[in-house]
Amino acid sequence: MFNSLPPATRTIIAANVIIFLLQLAIGAPMEQLFALWPLHTNFEPWQLVSYAFLHARSFYLHLFFNMFAVYMFGAALEYYWGSRRFLVYYFACVIAAAATQLAASALSHSGSPVIGASGAVFGLLFAFAVNFPRQKLLLLFPPIPMPAWLFVTLYGALELLLGVTNWQPDVAHFAHLGGLLGGALVILYWRARKIAP
């Protein structure tokens, strides 16, 4: 099944799994160097991308759910767009998520580092909803099918609520929203330039 994935999606998943295994072996020094740190602490420019390949060592589901989403939505988008455009989109979402999180951290004076591909995943969700709006998605909770456009709208609204209210302070909700916003801007740019998939 893994070998049947398109090449960019397969490479992203493989890279995340390999880097997670390195994290388990090396530990905190990897996060110190490659996590996304706020501008006023340990920030380095490469962290705008590197953070998206790290995941929580103590919570394996963090990696699993992110890579499952890349598998589900990334593969469909790569088949639709082609590998080159898919990679441009994916990394635009990674960087937009990082920039949004850095801005939120600066405003809140937070010193916590951020890791994970969730910002890129939110960008993939947005693109999937735009390109396949009526495709039904089945949630785990509640277990009811809903069209992709509705799922992404509700999920985005929930992330905004959680980010503004700080109900889950250990989750980078603004990075999620930044990935979604970055994806929206890329798609708007492509459409304005009449760049067909």
- Is the residue at 31 inside a domain? yes
Q: How many domains does the chain have?
A: 1
- Is the residue at 67 inside a domain? yes
Q: In terms of residue numbers, what domain contains 106? A: 2-192
C-alpha 190/C-alpha 26 separation (Å) is 41
pLDDT per residue as tens digits for the range 56-101: 887 778 898 889 889 989 999 999 999 999 999 999 999 999 999 9
Contact 73, 128 (CB under 8 A): yes
Return the closest-CA partner of residue 6 out of 57, 82, 61: 82
- Is the residue at 135 inside a domain? yes
* Distance, CA of 169 to chain centre: 18
- Is the residue at 197 inside a domain? no
Q: How many CB atoms lie within 10 A of CB 28?
A: 10
- Is the residue at 35 inside a domain? yes
Contact 178, 101 (CB under 8 A): yes
Q: How many CB atoms lie within 10 A of CB 127?
A: 26
pLDDT per residue as tens digits for the range 139-166: 666 677 877 777 777 766 766 665 555 6
- CATH number, domain containing residue 182: 1.20.1540.10
Enter the pTM of the model.
0.89
